[in-house]
A and B are shown apart, each in its own frame.
Chain A
Amino acid sequence: MLKTFKVGGVHPPENKISAGKKIEVLPIPKTVFIPVAQHIGAPSTAVVKRGDMVKTGQIIAKSTGFVSTNIHSSVSGKVKKVDVSADSSGYMKQGIFIDVDGDEWMEEINRSDDLVKDINIDSKEIIQRIHDAGIVGLGGATFPTHIKLVPPKGMKAEVLLINGVECEPYLTSDHRLMLEKVDEILVGTQLLMKAMNVDKSVIGIENNKPDAIKLLSEKCKAYNGISVVALKVQYPQGGEKQLINAVTGKEVPSGGLPIAVGAVVSNVGTAFAVYEAIQKNKPLFERVVTVTGKEISNPSNFLARIGTATSELIEAAGGLPENTGKIISGGPMMGRAIASLDVPVTKGTSGILIMKSEESKRKEYMDCIRCSRCVSVCPMGLEPYLLMLTGEKQIFDRAESERIMDCIECGSCSYTCPSNRPLLDYIRYGKGKVGAIIRSRKK
């Protein structure tokens, strides 16, 4: 019996079309737009101005406040302007436009492909370097990594979980990374272990990636304290709390952080970024992005610079098919449709999914038939139909007592509803309102 999380879950068609495609380096675009808010928390402040020359890897926006991080230039060239442009939600967000001129990297970056195994810095320095390199959780939540590594007072991390689950259908960027950069990921894991001062790490991988499980299980023998566990394919296993439950059997208390059960979760992409930042002095300015879809002619995994426009990625994967219905940034379950092709790749972009118009359209929604399927699939043990109702009727005190804030927005309820009810839409709305109420109460 393979391990998995205990409550709820669904199994959508996997459609990992691009799993066999090697990571290709995407040509550097002519211009990039780098938003200053690419992470959860306070947006960074731009430290360059119009006309400045920047090099690849140079800091262009500095962290402001505790929950924030640095942003580095992904290209070399001239800053065109610091202005607003539409982000994936269509709202105007501030960012830095850079006209590309050649590809001159900062001198301190080690551009060789040699594996650097020896770790000779201490825990504090690792955390500082992670902060300086602008590393955030690359699984999609983009929470600054350096904060996660320092547990709150009175708590102690016991185990580091590396998330190689990639439970979202279609996406294959983590899978390819595990196959192609296995040693780097393992060294990165060791760096994270040292930073947190734990001696045990488990890499969780879903069973639909047998090649990655095999490769990592063999390689990890050479590294102390790292083991690999195969997990049953079940969405949303890549969720932090679900992964902890699947691997350790422990349940994170409602409203609590994973550290409450002694666990810290990091994505394989993050482990790789940590390796590059510390062993190669390379800040986070490029990431692997899957460009996929049933109709697209060449689904691929690209190593793309942050700030590259979505249109460039789609062009490289064979152009936009005619009957495109939606272009989704992220996976089909949790990703969001984008309103314009100028939207740039950010630190949190794990994939670009192009959906046919037939499969992307939502069906008309009907009344709730009380089948309670949403309740049985909810991985957090909530009652989505009730939470939707509280959102619809604006009964936010009830929503709070029904623990709406525990919702991880995985979308299993909307996916499974036979009446096509927009459960998550209302829950997300209610969550926003309840969150604001809780914040105003604290003030």
Chain B
Amino acid sequence: MSITIIYTIATLGIIGILAAIILYFVAQKFKVVEDPRIDEVEEALPAANCGGCGYAGCRAFAEACVKADSLADLNCPVGGNDMMGDVAKILGLEAVKKDPRVAYIRCNGTCDHRPKTSQFDGATTCAIASSVYSGESDCEYGCLGYGDCYDVCDFDAIDLREGMGVPLILDDKCVACGACVDACPKNLIELRKKFPKNRKIVVSCMNEAKGGVARKACKVACIGCSKCEKECKFDAITIDNNLAFIDSDKCKLCRKCVPVCPTGAIIEENFPPRRIKPTEKEECSTAK
């Protein structure tokens, strides 16, 4: 009996040693040399794997960072400047500061502003609704409100605001990963420069129809009158296809364009109340 046990142990032991030797040489032969800094950089990244950097995930981004000679084209919007500074330190490169961004849904066509003219009862996703028809209101450019952006957001940064018709992006939670930008079939969402205290001046409309048509479909539509363009001293506003656009990189938040807008399509958010009561603006917004 005991001999059988000894033989067994000996045989298995020899097989084990042989296998170990073979594996050692194979491991030497097929050794993959990986930069240890990739692990370090990955450790510093937020591990959200959101794809906001343009790479397949945090690991892929870390590899790209290690390979790159400069961090100018690489940015993790989730981590922001502080974290990219850490990455730069690990890699011994110069940190490149980038303006933080925030997503914004350029439609203010809530139910009070945009009357419904039809009803959709198909599958409730924006992608399907927009492939079938233009939407429940007369505005073919506006938000459908089924929340494809809400579904793709990994950071709970979108409030669906059920019943309002248009979701709201919560500035403090938004990391500007851009998932909602790709998900919106109407291309309403834009990544804009994030100003201190979340202040923003934005044309909250994407309607490219002629003024009359746009105004008929929605009370707060941009009619492309170009009053704001003339008012802006910083060339931040351009008019294209009957639609004004404020370039957030050029905007200085002077708020001069807001009162001149006849429809109230330009929105100011998180500003302190104006000192002089803007009577002009009130008259305009109530005029029919």
Contacts and interface: CB of A to CB of B under 8 A. Distances in A.
Nearest to A422: B123
A425 interface: yes
B131 A339 contact: no
A361 interface: yes
A422 B131 CA distance: 14
B121 A89 contact: no
Given A422-B122, A425-B122, A89 B117 contact: no
Contact of B131 (A92, A362, A432): A432
A428 B131 contact: yes
B122 A340 contact: no
A336 B118 contact: no
A91 B122 contact: no
Interface string A212-235: 000000000000000000000000
Contacts of A432: 131
Contacts of B131: 428-429, 432
Contact of A92 (B121, B132, B140): B140
A426 B127 CA distance: 9
Nearest to A84: B209
A320 to B, nearest CB: 14
A336 B132 CA distance: 9
A425 B133 CA distance: 12
Interface in B112-154: 117-118, 121-123, 125, 127-128, 131-135, 138, 140
Contacts of A426: 123, 128
Given A339-B117, A340-B117, A426-B128, A89 B134 contact: yes
Interface residues of B, number: 16
A316 interface: no
Contacts of B128: 422, 425-426, 428-429
B8 to A, nearest CB: 49
A90 B134 contact: yes
Contacts of B135: 90
Contacts of B132: 89, 336, 425, 428
Contacts of B140: 86, 90-92
Given A426-B128, A429-B127, A429-B128, A90 B133 contact: yes
A7 to B, nearest CB: 26
A295 to B, nearest CB: 18
Contacts of A428: 128, 131-132
A340 B119 CA distance: 11
B121 A425 contact: no
Contacts of B121: 361-362
Interface string A319-355: 0000000000000000011011000000000000000
Interface in A387-443: 422, 425-426, 428-429, 432
The contact size tier of chain A is 10 to 19
A339 B133 contact: yes
Contacts of A84: 209
B127 A91 contact: no
Contacts of A337: 118, 133
Contacts of A429: 123, 125, 127-128, 131
Nearest to B129: A425
Contacts of A92: 140, 209
Nearest to A83: B210
B122 A89 contact: no
Nearest to B140: A91
B150 to A, nearest CB: 16
Contacts of B134: 86, 89-91, 339
A89 B131 CA distance: 9
B209 A89 contact: no
B209 A339 contact: no
Contacts of A86: 134, 138, 140
A169 to B, nearest CB: 20
A225 B132 CA distance: 42
Interface string A190-205: 0000000000000000
Interface in B14-37: none
B209 to A, nearest CB: 7
Contacts of B117: 339-340
A429 B128 CA distance: 6
Given A91-B134, A91-B140, A339 B123 contact: no
Nearest to A339: B118
B131 to A, nearest CB: 6
Contacts of A340: 117-118
Contacts of B122: 362, 422, 425
Contacts of A422: 122-123, 128
A378 B35 CA distance: 54
A346 to B, nearest CB: 16
Interface in A285-338: 336-337
14 contacts: A89-B133, A89-B134, A90-B118, A91-B133, A337-B133, A339-B133, A361-B121, A362-B121, A422-B123, A422-B128, A425-B123, A425-B132, A426-B128, A428-B131
Closest 5 CB pairs of A and B: A90-B134, A425-B123, A422-B123, A339-B118, A89-B133
Given A91-B134, A429-B128, A429-B131, 10 more contacts: A89-B133, A90-B118, A90-B134, A90-B140, A91-B133, A337-B118, A337-B133, A339-B133, A340-B117, A425-B128
Interface of B: 117-118, 121-123, 125, 127-128, 131-135, 138, 140, 209
